[in-house]
Amino acid sequence: MVASYKQCEELGYEARMYIDKRFIGFIPENCRYIVYGQDKPVESTFSIFVFPSVRNLKEILWLKKNTSSKIIYIFHEPLDKYSTYRKAGFSHLKMLKLRVINMVNALTVKWSDIVLLPSEKAVSYYKSNSLYRNDNYHYLPLLYDDEQTEDLKCTERKYFSYIGTVASDHSFNEFVDFVRQAIQKDGLSGFRFLIATKSKVDHKVMSPLIESGRLDLYDGVPLTDQQINVFYASSYAVWNAYERTTQSGVLAKAFMFGTPVVFLEKNISEFVHDGQEGISVKDNTDYDAIKTAIVKIRDSFDYYSGMCRKRFLQSFYYQNYDGMMENLFQEAFGDVI
């Protein structure tokens, strides 16, 4: 959201964030905002929505009925076949939630004037899903501001980390199993492990790992950007060996701080390549392969870190896409801009 805000400002538009009051403290001080539930969106040329939500559907309908605002939807996660998620370990309840979210996404897509898709895989899923009925879609990677600072560049690297939501398709249990084996075998001496997530985890399971002195755990509450940035900057490598992924904000944020990733070979994409921004493994339960990957990254860290920063600036830094967005705005909304 911050990247889109700054991009719109740099392109000459007066931007405002429209956010839940709980998250006011998470945005930069110099950003204008209005509060969901307290303020209605003002008349605008266009409105950018970035998450699937029933509440967002209500706001889109209000905007369409009461203003001339055009709607842009950044569609993060077009769905693959449902069988893919069942194989990834989704429970019946999560599958039900997934179907509901899919319907919300389908309506948001239908009511949007432009749909932006952040990866080649997302485009493929979008085109193959008959629920998504909007032909005005465009490829645009996830956009981020560059939050790397001089002090963060000097942060000591010590962790192999899991950062982000706990989810079965993100292979959280496989990460925990790897950490448990490393601690039991006294492997990867000199490395510590980190879990940083707003999700709640089972502390009974984690207690022996924490008590070993090798695992640091931060869970159960949303983390500030500054906290998250420190975690990325203090990691030698980040877990991205997800069973299923379309595109990954964790990937982009890791690259922002020059932090390589360990990822599954089947998830090689336009954003991550084996031996460049990280190292791939065929099986995220293969302890020896993951250990070898982490050690290799540490031993050639400057190379991998440099490739990550290069990839971030090329693929995710919002200023690289200012021209593309301006052309998109002019083509779509030229008659009202």
pLDDT of residue 164: 94
Q: With contact defined as beta carbons under 8 Å apart, do 160 and 241 qualify?
A: no
∠316-318-320 over CA atoms, to 5°? 85
Q: How far is CA 287 from CA 87, 188, 250, 266, 282, in A?
A: 22, 11, 22, 18, 11
Q: With contact defined as beta carbons under 8 Å apart, do 197 and 163 qualify?
A: yes
The rounded distance, in Å, linking the Cα atoms of 15 and 28 is 13
72-112 confidence digits (pLDDT tens): 999 998 988 888 888 777 888 888 988 999 999 999 999 99
For the domain covering 2-145+318-333, report its CATH number. Answer: 3.40.50.2000
Q: Which residues contact 272 (CB under 8 A, 6 or more apart)?
A: 240, 251, 261, 263, 278, 311
pLDDT of residue 334: 67
33-60 confidence digits (pLDDT tens): 999 888 877 778 899 999 889 999 999 9
Alpha helices in 67-91 (DSSP H): 82-87
Burial class (CB in 10 A: 0-12, 13-18, 19+), 165: exposed
Q: What's the CATH architecture for 150-315?
A: 3-Layer(aba) Sandwich (3.40)
Q: With contact defined as beta carbons under 8 Å apart, do 320 and 314 qualify?
A: yes
Residues 182-217: b if buried by 16+ CB within 10 A, e if exposed:
bbeeebbeebbbbbbbeeebeeeebeebeeeebbbb
pLDDT of residue 245: 85
127-144 confidence digits (pLDDT tens): 999 999 999 999 999 999
248-286 confidence digits (pLDDT tens): 899 999 999 999 999 999 999 999 999 999 999 999 999
Least Cα distance to 83 among 312, 244, 271, 212 occurs for 244
Task: Please report, for the chain, the start and end positions of each structural domain, with discontinuous segments joined by +.
Answer: 2-145+318-333, 150-315
- Average per-residue pLDDT in the chain? 92
281-330 confidence digits (pLDDT tens): 999 999 999 999 999 999 999 999 999 999 999 999 999 999 999 988 88
Residue 337 has pLDDT above 80, yes or no: no
